Amino acid sequence: MEKINKEKFVKDIEEYLGVKKYEDIKKEEAKSRKLNFDESDKEDLGKIFAEFFKNTNKKYEPSILDIERICKITKREAKNGCEKELVLKRKFFDKEEKCLKSKKVTIKFRVPKGIEDGQKLVLRGEGNEDEKLNRGNLFIRIVVKK
């Protein structure tokens, strides 16, 4: 009786059944993910990036949920940056009573160093809330004391 080569036998069966080894699958995935660019692709990429970034310069449309406040800081704080607190009243939706209410909150924020008089900081999601639980933004206009 002839001796059977196990490796060849298993390989033949795998081939016949269409079974792939884990390593083979990983190699195929790596090949399919490999990006090959030619010169024509560069033009398409330029168009894609231009399309993507052209919408970033849109002017912000204020929402009725936004809050704007002023924060006065010293020249030293403007130069070095600082931590500040702002106490404000903002609206929130009470889920139990199903109505809008107001509450006083203290917001802590960081003023970056080098900020100039008149610049605004935006704290996303720190504005008023509506019935659908949408949140506005808090805009803090910086005033540097003379």
Q: Cβ contacts of residue 119 below 8 Å, gap of 6+?
A: 141, 142
pLDDT digits (tens, 9 = 90+) for 31-87: 665 555 555 555 566 666 666 666 655 667 778 899 999 999 999 999 999 999 999
Measured at the CA of 102, the angle between CA 97 and CA 106, to 5 degrees, comes to 130
- Look at residue 49 and tell me if it is in a domain: yes
Domain residues for the domain of 81 are: 67-144
* Structural tokens at position 64: 């009725």
Q: Tell me which of 51-55, 74-78, 96-100, 119-123 is least confident.
A: 51-55
Same domain flag for 36 and 86: no
Nearest CA to 87 among 105, 73, 103, 71?
A: 105
Local confidence band at 3 (pLDDT 50, 70, 90 cut-offs): confident
Same domain flag for 71 and 53: no
Q: Which residue has the higher pLDDT, 130 or 17?
A: 130
pLDDT for res 89: 94
Same domain flag for 52 and 98: no
pLDDT for res 90: 92
Q: Which residues of 108-133 are buried (b: 16+ CB within 10 A; e: fewer)?
A: eeebeeebeeeeebebeebbbbeeee
Longest dimension (CA), the chain: 103
> What type of residue sits at position 43?
E
Total domains present in the chain: 2
Same domain flag for 120 and 76: yes
pLDDT for res 103: 93
Confidence (pTM):
0.59
Look up the CATH number of the domain holding residue 103. 2.60.260.20
